[in-house]
Structure 1
Amino acid sequence: MSAVIAQWQDPHPQQRSPGDGIELTAVVAGQESLLTPAALDFLAGLHRRFEPARQARLAARRERQAYFDAGGLPDFRADTAAIRNGQWRVAPLPTALLDRRVEITGPVDPKMVINALNSGAKVYMADFEDSTSPTWANLLTGQRALRKAVAGTLDWMAPDGAKHYTLKPFEEQAVLMVRPRGWHLDEKHVRIDGAAMSGSLFDLGLFAFHNAKALAALDRGPYFYLPKLQSMEEAQLWNEVLDRVEAELGLAPGQIKVTVLIETLPAVFEMDEILHALRTRIAGLNCGRWDYVFSYLKTFRAHRDKVLPERGQVTMTQPFLRAYSELLIQTCHKRGAHAMGGMAAQIPISGDEAGNEAALAKVRADKLREVTAGHDGTWVAHPALIPLAMRIFDERMPTPHQQHVLRDDVLIIRDDLIKPCLGTVTRAGFEGNVEVCVRYLAAWLEGNGCVPIHWLMEDAATAEIARTQLWQWLHADSLFLDDGTPVDFALLERALIGLPSKLAERMKLPGGSKLDEAIAMLDRLTHADTLEEFLTLPAYERID
């Protein structure tokens, strides 16, 4: 891929004046302060330089999936064995990223940005991806909020005027990291030379253009989380992009640091290679476990012997997920990078002390498992979980990280990573997938990508698991619920028909106005002969 990138050149570099070929297809108030002529020129330059390579990588994904659909299995690459066997390490980590024991993640609206930076977590991952519905207004509101946060001027007043939110002093704030959208997503509101721009390049490029120099001066990066990678070539593409961003913005080489989410099944077989491709700037890998389960389902969509049980039974204690986690720790620590744990999505359960304590017990067990296994940090979705997670990591990890825990006891082979777990599909599990997918999708279509459902803070990954499991179960041969009921489209129809009355009281919640649209979309997606690659692709066509 690097050769492809290096060979492509703008065919008419002297024939464009600033702004030529750039079209904005939507307008929100005040966007000119962000999308200045200089910023748009910078974004257009990234698009023209890297769009052919992005499309090549997406084509490679389709080819690989066709191989899996024909019965092929993912495996460690023979052509990169020298990288896996080599004695190399990534560049030293900056001081601000040495201790990441608890990170909080969430969308980029001003209130969330303030609360997350003030939360007491070590890191806040500002998310333009799975927890943000990418309406034009949401994206620009997020970019504006982050720009003000970096400048130290962000505040927010509650609509009723009852509370005024302001930032704590800089030294008391969490370290800011930003997650752009994945390579597969377009930004339809920005067209360059007639083509939609990459959502990845728009999110990262616009943030870097406005904030990179200020963050570098503060010794805070800029730092990014990179999602949905499937190969080392995709990591190489990101490295080329970041080299270009540094050069264009006058940053030192390697100034930008990244953490890569290992949240696709193909990527788990290329962790060494991904670290190597980004070795001058990578800070770690993260167990993006919900998207990883989704990727497992999608990768094996045509493999009837790899159907998973209902998602409540697919926990990190299952052998194939434990293998993934332990291999990630071993790989990162061998190379001098952090191995970050996964998300605790629980939120406080008001008015139910017993239920709340049961939920917190699950969080304790999960975080204890992570720190005992050797993870260097973990994620939470709600500020109330930060003290609990911090206490567990403080007690078990007195050092800033655990890179000294090499996990030489871990010996993972291909089959350990792809063997499905045993379990069942209950009626509650089937209907729960229908409800969660519809409720989340309805909220997303309404512009909300971070949705509390059944006392869990859900993002797109949960909806993806739910609808992919439904598709796989419905297209499998002779699958039955644990009570003997056939899993067929009649069962789905009954669940969908019953949803509006079941959710009548929730119609006032986010997504209520889009409930019928979400039901119809899930019905179409599950009936389709081929599994849609991402739920957000057809849904994106239906938002502004």
Structure 2
Amino acid sequence: MFTNTSEITVNGITLRGHHVSGQRQVLSLDALAFLAHLHRKFEPRRRELMKAREQVKAKISQGWTPDYPEETRAIREDDSWQVAPLAQGLNYRQVEITGPVDRKMTVNALNSGAMGWMADFEDSSTPAWENVIAGQVNLFDAIRRDIDFTTEAGKRYRLDPEPQDRVPTINVRPRGLHLIEDHLLVDGQPISGALMDFGLYFFHNARELLKRSRGPYFYLPKLEHYREARWWNDVFCVAQDYVGLRRGTIRATVLMETITAAFQMEEILYELREHAAGLNAGRWDYIFSIIKMFRDRGPEFVLPDRAQVTMTAPMMRAYTDQLVRACHRRGAAAMGGMAAQIPNRRDPKANKAALEKVYADKLREANDGFDGSWVAHPDLVPVAMEAFNQVLGTCPHQIRTQKRPDVVPNAAALLNVGATEGEVTEAGLRLNIDVGIRYMESWLRGSGAAAIHGLMEDAATAEISRSQIWQWIDAGVHARVTSASPSTPDNDDAATRQVTRDWVQQLVDEVFAELPRSAGDRFDTARDLFVASALADEFPAFLTVPAYQQCLSAASEQGDDRSGEGAPSSSHRMRAGVAA
């Protein structure tokens, strides 16, 4: 049996995660050998790319401002090149549903009526070992139409009988390049979470997907430079060669989630040419990136309360307009952002308001030239579909009809943060604290998609919340006081107060005291993690990195991470823990 200190290591591969149902299927000898091959070939370059990110951030802190790279001017000015033609299953993408790869969500997503499902191992999924392995099992079963789920109350979820051409196309989002998988080591190094998620899904399902008139399709998150797209393209080439598939079989849609990547949209498509499917406007992470990268550049880059940063803000309009232009110029699909509203069937008035917001958001995207968009709930699929159908009619996309010649790439427009209308308020500060702690508590319990105040939130929510607080403190921002609480002066509504660490800590105590508590919740740890990241002297690049370490520590203390609880038999351990 596994103990807290025992590990199984064979041929340089170490497995130290506790046994998960279905693990034998996905952690086969051949699959582990494939992962080890990818790690040994690409891990050194991944580490170099992470160092390059740090260097770019240091330059920005010293006053450098991102711009369109001069060294790639020829790529941008060359009108001749195009990405590969749209692949099977990626021609109609008006509405894609997103969510984690737990078993219930998998069934619901495939029954949703959406044209695609973004199966998420990243921001809406806590990377606990159970989730990572179970997610791969769920996808394996779903592709083969052999999946169902029964709740403890006895409610059964199963796939609707659908013709193959009406089954949503699956696009898997692996973890970002900055995340590691601590439970699988190659030559003593943790494997990249990105390679783990990509590799297992591709290895087990690529050929089966092709049999079903689909392919191994992916969403690539949080790229910050075209060199990272080149890294992924090389991964794809090696992976296809390894299993004997034609290069170009893999297709990837890249999420434009960082301000530095916004200046390199065409370069990113160029690097992925034969594997490129499109770009996606990952709005929440994009806002987080702007705050993070310019957090110490003073008031010029300070945004108002998160709720006031809408897609009609000048910087967001520039971002989405330039994305559509870049995609359609190169023959790629432009995918819109997330509609995070959650329908409320118990409250008709609230439900009507949520659906109206979603419809307006999707209609704006369709009129701007987007070819499709995301929703977070099955009830929103027909709403988004109606909005896109109103603009597209029977056309599958707008790649050829909406070239956006009116859009001129404009670096200053992308960085026009100061033109965002709104203000910093105490209410917004409290909401950041409330949502940030609530989300992290859900994340620590293993659920990376959390319904909070009528919105489906993922990790970007907590990142925006804590990074805004950090920036407001650093920039000496004054917030409009909106309540008379023990921590605020008895002033009129027009009064303001400087955002300081002491005041934020007082507000944390007040907000925390009002949170709903229950036995076994993780609110204490969530608060500590959130406060540590929001009030740290040095800004942590990602909140989920220390949160992941907390999960590993908690699991180890409970004897659940590498202990004998639920451990496989010795023969099963050897099967799961070795590779050629």
Give the TM-score taking structure 1 as reference length: 0.94
Structure 2: distance between partners of 1:29 and 1:205: 18
Aligned residue for 2:514? 502
Structure 1: distance between partners of 2:109 and 2:331: 28
Structure 1: distance between partners of 2:170 and 2:260: 28
Structure 2: distance between partners of 1:235 and 1:217: 28
Structure 1: distance between partners of 2:518 and 2:411: 46
Structure 2: distance between partners of 1:527 and 1:293: 20
Q: Secondary structure at the match of 2:498?
A: coil
The offset of 1:33, in angstroms, is 2.1
Aligned residue for 1:51? 43
Deviates more, 1:270-279 or 1:28-37: 28-37
Q: Secondary structure at the match of 2:541?
A: coil
2:398 to 377, 402, 405: 402
CA offsets, 1:175-229, max 9 Å, x none? 1110000111001111110111000000000111111111122221110000000
Per the alignment, do residues 349 and 219 of structure 1 end up closer, same or farther by CA in structure 2, a change over 3 Å counting? same
Deviates more, 1:105-114 or 1:165-174: 165-174
The offset of 1:246, in angstroms, is 0.5
In the TM superposition, 1:257-296 aligns within 5 A as 257-296=251-290
The offset of 1:488, in angstroms, is 1.3
CA contact (8 A) 2:20 2:134 kept: no
Aligned residue for 2:530? 522
The offset of 1:167, in angstroms, is 4.5
The offset of 1:360, in angstroms, is 1.8
Structure 2: distance between partners of 1:310 and 1:287: 20
Structure 1: distance between partners of 2:518 and 2:75: 53
Deviates more, 1:223-232 or 1:404-413: 404-413
CA offsets, 1:263-305, max 9 Å, x none? 1000000001000000111110000000000000011011112
2:241 to 239, 247, 252: 247
Aligned residue for 1:470? 469
Structure 2: distance between partners of 1:336 and 1:391: 25
> Match for 2:502: what amino acid?
A
CA contact (8 A) 1:47 1:198 kept: yes
Q: Does 1:73 align with 2:62?
A: no
Aligned residue for 1:365? 360
Structure 2: distance between partners of 1:258 and 1:276: 12
The offset of 1:478, in angstroms, is 4.6
Per the alignment, do residues 153 and 71 of structure 1 end up closer, same or farther by CA in structure 2, a change over 3 Å counting? same
Per the alignment, do residues 29 and 362 of structure 1 end up closer, same or farther by CA in structure 2, a change over 3 Å counting? closer
Structure 1: distance between partners of 2:218 and 2:204: 15
Aligned residue for 2:308? 313
Structure 1: distance between partners of 2:333 and 2:72: 22
1:112 to 89, 105, 122: 105
CA contact (8 A) 1:155 1:167 kept: no
Q: Secondary structure at the match of 2:96?
A: strand
CA offsets, 1:132-173, max 9 Å, x none? 000000111100000001111111112222334235333331
In the TM superposition, 1:77-156 aligns within 5 A as 77-87=69-79, 88-156=81-149
Q: Does 1:228 align with 2:236?
A: no
CA contact (8 A) 1:108 1:127 kept: yes
CA offsets, 1:310-332, max 9 Å, x none? 10010100000000000000110
Segments of structure 1 that go 5 or more residues without pairing to the other structure are: 1-17
Aligned residue for 1:9? none
Structure 2: distance between partners of 1:250 and 1:158: 40
The offset of 1:496, in angstroms, is 1.4
In the TM superposition, 1:17-32 aligns within 5 A as 19-30=10-21, 31-32=23-24
Q: Secondary structure at the match of 1:176?
A: strand
Aligned residue for 1:428? 427
Structure 2: distance between partners of 1:285 and 1:397: 19
Percent identity among equivalent residues?
Answer: 46
CA offsets, 1:42-85, max 9 Å, x none? 10000000000100111110100000111111110000000000
Per the alignment, do residues 289 and 164 of structure 1 end up closer, same or farther by CA in structure 2, a change over 3 Å counting? closer
Aligned residue for 1:7? none
The offset of 1:477, in angstroms, is 2.2
The offset of 1:467, in angstroms, is 0.7
Q: Does 1:183 align with 2:177?
A: yes
Q: Secondary structure at the match of 1:96?
A: coil
Structure 2: distance between partners of 1:341 and 1:490: 39
Segments of structure 2 that go 5 or more residues without pairing to the other structure are: 1-8, 482-494, 553-580
Q: Secondary structure at the match of 1:265?
A: coil
CA contact (8 A) 1:371 1:396 kept: yes
> Match for 1:106: what amino acid?
G
Structure 2: distance between partners of 1:430 and 1:147: 43
Structure 1: distance between partners of 2:376 and 2:531: 30
Q: Secondary structure at the match of 1:400?
A: coil
Q: Does 1:535 align with 2:543?
A: yes
> Match for 1:347: what amino acid?
I
CA offsets, 1:8-36, max 9 Å, x none? xxxxxxxxxx9411111212234222111
Aligned residue for 2:409? 412
Aligned residue for 1:5? none
Aligned residue for 1:459? 458
Structure 1: distance between partners of 2:387 and 2:412: 32
CA contact (8 A) 2:362 2:384 kept: yes
Structure 2: distance between partners of 1:526 and 1:501: 18
Structure 2: distance between partners of 1:513 and 1:352: 28
Q: Does 1:334 align with 2:326?
A: no
CA contact (8 A) 1:118 1:172 kept: no
Give the TM-score taking structure 2 as reference length: 0.88
Structure 2: distance between partners of 1:46 and 1:273: 24
CA contact (8 A) 2:476 2:498 kept: no
Aligned residue for 2:29? 37
Deviates more, 1:378-387 or 1:407-416: 407-416
Deviates more, 1:215-224 or 1:384-393: 215-224
CA contact (8 A) 1:101 1:122 kept: yes
CA offsets, 1:401-420, max 9 Å, x none? 00121100112311100011
Structure 2: distance between partners of 1:39 and 1:94: 26
The offset of 1:373, in angstroms, is 0.5
CA contact (8 A) 2:476 2:500 kept: no
